[in-house]
Each structure stands twice: as structure tokens, then as C-alpha cells.
A and B are shown apart, each in its own frame.
Chain A
């Protein structure tokens, strides 16, 4: 497989709530190679979302190091992190997070608008994305005129419009029925098929089992790191020996 995309070592994340401390992530070591398909499972409160936010540079660890594509990203400034998010990371959320007043096409174009890409280039890419996700006839619909599955397809189109190397999905099927959820998973997996690294947080064991590599979290710790059929342990990155 390819070079390591994500290298976490000794990551700690502690939340302070008044006097009590919640150890949301504890000594996490993790290596994910470019192009992998990873599912993250575990009971509620085990730190799955916290891990994903950290991987997406929406949150910072209290200690430990995070190297993304070989570069230490924990020390970057907020604006540098924003640039990394813009260029390399796509998010898919459980509650879609579409901007209600914008049409499907405008929602898909939003990352390009924020990145300052000229309108001429945007138009063609949005049209292609609408075609790829079967939304040609929904381009001018607002989110409240779309079904849940269509909304999540818009969200996936938006997450991939900047052609990121990494797509992070936090319970992307949580608000969808079973068949729609599977359809969304297939779209994400197809994306992985094109070489995009995919990390999906899910409660659903069946959906999680589809990933070639499955992480199980409990109490902020990595409990299990199982690599589907061909057993490949977490240190596949080939940490310096």
C-alpha cells in the first residue's frame, strides 16, 4: 500500500468540566496509510467523535503528535489548519449540515467558494459532481426540498468537491433508514475505490464490518485494531525500528 497518511502517537485529549476531568482520548497510537478504508466503532462516549475531530484538525490534542502526510500539523496556526482542511480533508456529518438557504448546487460549491476558486472552474466541477451523485434534477432545490438520502449525497459531493485525500464521516447513516444508509455507504466506498482514504465512525456493526480495517474504541482507548481478512496490525506504517 501507499505511504502513511496519518500518524498519531501518544495522543491525549482531556476535557475539563468544572472540577471533573474527562479523558476522552488516552495514549492513542495509530497509523493509517493512504487509500485505507477504516471504520471506528465503540460505545457512546468512547471518544470516536473526538478522535475524528482531531484527525480533521477541528480540535487539538492536549499532548502527542499528529503527522498528516508526513507533516506535523498540531503546531500549525488556526489559519494554516484551515488551509489543510480546505485542501486535504472532507467531512460528512450525521446531520448533513447543509446551509438551508443555499441550493444543492450552491452547497456543493461552498468549499470552492471559500477557497476562492473562480466561478468558471466551479461550474464545471459542480455539474460533474451533480452527475456523479445522481442529483442533476435537484441542483436548484434547497435542502428542505430534498430527502435525507439526497441531502447526504449533496453532503458527500460537497466533501469531495475539493478532491481531498481524506474523507471523515461521523455516523453518516445515523439519520437515514437502512436502505438509504447502505446506498450512502456504497457511495463512500466507491470514493475509497478511487484512492481516497476513508474513515467512518458508526454504531452499526454490520456497516462497520464492511471496512477492511476496524478500530474499536472504549473509554478513550483503542481497544482493537482489526484488519478485515488479511490481518494487518496497526504498525503497518513501518514505524522506524
Chain B
């Protein structure tokens, strides 16, 4: 039998029982669509997190007070006293490191901001002029904190876009005096709206000089020190140099944690990449279910078409021809289902992107390919048994069936 004839014959057979055909195609389509949508969600989550981390800045090395506990319980740690605080002096000392490009200290606390009777609770970040470059922030208006002695901050503040909107509405905010806690500061700049930001949303942030923040919170500790390395290759040396400098300053004790953005990114990438594969695997189970359905429906079809199979044999069809007729039908239905599912899945992913623009729900190519290929393979694999059964039918008994 010629291929074109096989396909036409299988198509006619499929059209001959529309309910059976559409059920099969639907089952297959749901399986493939599940793979496409679920991997789109998982991979979207991965990309979302990566984007968020990248937004923090690049070539970042971050210093946190206290030793990381990831190494498990360390008896040596238990004996030593509470870790030393990070100070502005520590931060300034890091500038000596050759691999370090910029350093921005960060002190954080909550306070109230008020102007003209309007009052709002805000997160206050105390830092220096370098912060805007290290964190890659952009200004909508005005300027950032002035550079100068880190220990003598001017009474000025840069506010996030949301704070501006809530406190000033349509009025001009730049140059206004506001009260933050018990201090009066002048607004010198307004950050551009970002609408995102992991952990710390800069839209709702009030940034003041680090010395002012420490005075406000009556403490001289830092929450973080952000270090920008000279380049991508300088990240590892910068991390080593930073650790060493702090260790020397802390009387030889390694009581801070130094993390690199790259390491964090890689970890998240790995975890979420694994998640995508796992989700694809789960979705593939629905394809196996669809495959079993293909088998059952094809078996029913063989039973219903027994007389026809007997006739084909009487007309000279070989076993191979009969098998090919049924395999072609199973393959065609699976392919149709896979294509429909592919389209449905992409439509659903596009809808998700439309509804949640920040979430990049795009199925990875490998998952789509694997989904469609699995659908075809299951369709064929589960079509083999019914096709074999049809090919081996006894022609006389088949013809006797009506």
C-alpha cells in the first residue's frame, strides 16, 4: 500500500467515527498542553527569579554579619561570643582591595515619614553615593546622595516613586523638607519607578546618608556591605580579598558571610531548572494516560472493524498492510492531538503572559519538543498492540462477524 493511500485510508477511518477520533485527539492534546503550560510556568518562575536577582546589580559581592550556618553545627562557633558588627570602617577598609571597584554600606530600619500632616511608615536605607551605581538604580528627578565623608551625612533624602506619589500627589516633591523619624531632611532626588525588586522594593524606600540613618536608629552597625567587583573575573578574587580584610579587622575571626551574586544565581538556576524538569515529567504522565486511552480506543476500533479487516485480507492485504493501516491511524490521531495541544499550550502561556506581564511564562523549546515527541511515541507504542491484533485476525472468522 502506498504511503499516500495509507494516510488517506487512515484519515477516512478516523473521520468515520468522529466521536472516537475527537476524544482521542483531545486526550492527547490535553497531555501535550499540560507539558507546555506547566514547563512554561516552571521556566517562567526560574526566569523571574533570575531577572529579579540580576536587577540587584552585577558583579556583586555581598557581606553579611554573622557566619553562615550552612556548614552545619560548628562547636567552635558555639563557644565564641556573638559576632562582631559590621561597621562603616569595615566598609571603608574594603576599598583597599584591588579587585574591588565600588563599595556601598547599607544600614536599614523602619521609620515614619511625614509632610504636611500626611504620615506613612517607610523603610529607611542608609547608604552612600556609590549605592546608585552598585545597585544600578536610575533617578526620575534630581540627584542622588552627595558624595563626601561617610561619617558626616547631609540632611538629604532620595525617595522612591511610590512614596512620592503618596505623599505629594501632583505637587512638586523635589526640594521639599520632610520629617523622617525625628529628623528634617530635604528631598534631593526621586528614584525611577521599577515596580519590582527582590526583598527590598525601591519604590517604597527612603534613602538617606548612612551616618544619618545610624544616628536615627541609634546604632553603628551595618545591615550589609555591597561590593562591586572590577569585573566578572574579579568576583572570586574580590570575595577572597573582602573576607581576608574583614577577618584581619575582626581579630582574625571569620565572623561574616561573604556571598556572591553569581553563586546565588547559579543555585537558584539549578533548583528551578530541576523543578522545570520535574514538572515536565509529571505532565508527561498525562501523556502516558493518553497513550493508554489510544490503545483502548484502537482496540475497540479493531473489534468494531473486524469484518472490514477480514475483507481487506480477502482482497489481498498482507499482515503488514493491516498493521500499517492501524498504526498510521494511531500516529495521525496522536500527531493531530500533539499539534492541537502545542497550540493550546502556547495560547495558555501567552494568556498568562498577558495577565501577568512581569512573569515570563514561556515554555522552553526542549520541553515542547519532548512533549510532542513523547505524544507521538506513546501514540505509536500503544498503537502497536491493537495493530498487531488486527493483523493476526483470522480472515474467515472476521468476515463472519457482522
Residues of A within 8 A of B (CB): 53, 56, 58-59, 78-79, 82-83, 85-87, 91, 93, 95, 97, 99-102, 110-111, 113-116, 118-119, 158, 162
Contacts and interface: CB of A to CB of B under 8 A. Distances in A.
**Taking chain B's interface residues, is the majority helix, strand, or loop, or is none over half, making it mixed?**
helix
Contact of A85 (B13, B314, B319): B314
Interface of B: 1-2, 4-5, 9, 12-13, 15-16, 307-308, 310-321, 395-396, 399, 402
Given A58-B396, A114-B321, A99 B308 contact: yes
Best-buried of B4, B9, B310 by chain A (most CB within 10 Å): B9
Best-buried of A82, A95, A102, A115 by chain B (most CB within 10 Å): A82
B2 A82 contact: no
Contact of B1 (A79, A101, A114, A162): A114
B21 to A, nearest CB: 12
Given A78-B318, A99-B311, A114-B312, 5 more contacts: A87-B316, A91-B314, A91-B315, A101-B16, A111-B316
Nearest to B2: A116
Given A101-B13, A102-B12, A113-B9, A83 B316 contact: yes
Contacts of A100: 16
B9 A82 contact: no
B323 to A, nearest CB: 11
Contact of B318 (A83, A97, A101, A118): A83
28 contacts: A53-B396, A58-B313, A58-B314, A58-B399, A59-B395, A59-B396, A78-B319, A79-B318, A82-B318, A82-B319, A85-B313, A86-B316, A87-B316, A91-B315, A97-B310, A97-B314, A99-B311, A101-B15, A101-B16, A102-B12, A110-B315, A113-B2, A114-B315, A114-B317, A114-B321, A115-B316, A116-B5, A119-B4
Contacts of A101: 12-13, 15-16
**Which 8 A-B residue pairings sit nearest by Cβ, starting from the closest?**
A86-B316, A101-B16, A82-B318, A58-B395, A79-B318, A85-B316, A111-B315, A114-B317
B15 A79 contact: no
Given A113-B5, A113-B9, A97 B316 contact: no
A79 B392 CA distance: 11
A16 to B, nearest CB: 14
Given A99-B308, A101-B15, A114 B316 contact: yes
Nearest to A52: B396
B373 to A, nearest CB: 30
A95 B12 contact: no
Nearest to A97: B311
Given A58-B395, A58-B399, A162 B307 contact: no
Nearest to B398: A58
Contacts of A119: 4-5
A95 B402 CA distance: 9
Contacts of B312: 110, 114
A56 B310 CA distance: 13
B322 to A, nearest CB: 9
A93 B316 contact: no
A91 B395 CA distance: 13
A83 B1 CA distance: 12
Nearest to A80: B318
A43 B96 CA distance: 114
A97 B399 contact: yes
Contacts of A158: 315
Contacts of B395: 58-59
A240 to B, nearest CB: 32
Nearest to A87: B316
A99 B15 CA distance: 13
B307 A97 contact: yes
Contacts of A59: 395-396
A115 to B, nearest CB: 6
A113 B316 contact: no
A99 B312 CA distance: 9
A53 B311 CA distance: 12
B390 to A, nearest CB: 14
Contacts of A116: 1-2, 5
Nearest to A170: B399
Given A97-B307, A101-B16, A79 B315 contact: no
A93 B12 CA distance: 23
A128 B47 CA distance: 67
Contacts of B12: 101-102
A82 B13 contact: no
A113 B324 CA distance: 13
Contacts of B2: 113, 116, 118
A102 B316 CA distance: 18
Contacts of B15: 101
Contacts of B320: 79
Best-buried of A110, A113, A118 by chain B (most CB within 10 Å): A113
A101 B305 CA distance: 12
Nearest to A82: B318
B302 to A, nearest CB: 15
Best-buried of B2, B5, B16 by chain A (most CB within 10 Å): B5
A71 B331 CA distance: 39
Contacts of A113: 1-2, 5, 9
Nearest to A93: B399
A55 to B, nearest CB: 12
B304 to A, nearest CB: 11
A47 to B, nearest CB: 13
A160 to B, nearest CB: 12
Nearest to B8: A113
Contacts of B319: 78-79, 82
A53 B398 CA distance: 12
A116 B316 CA distance: 11
B202 to A, nearest CB: 67
A86 B317 CA distance: 7
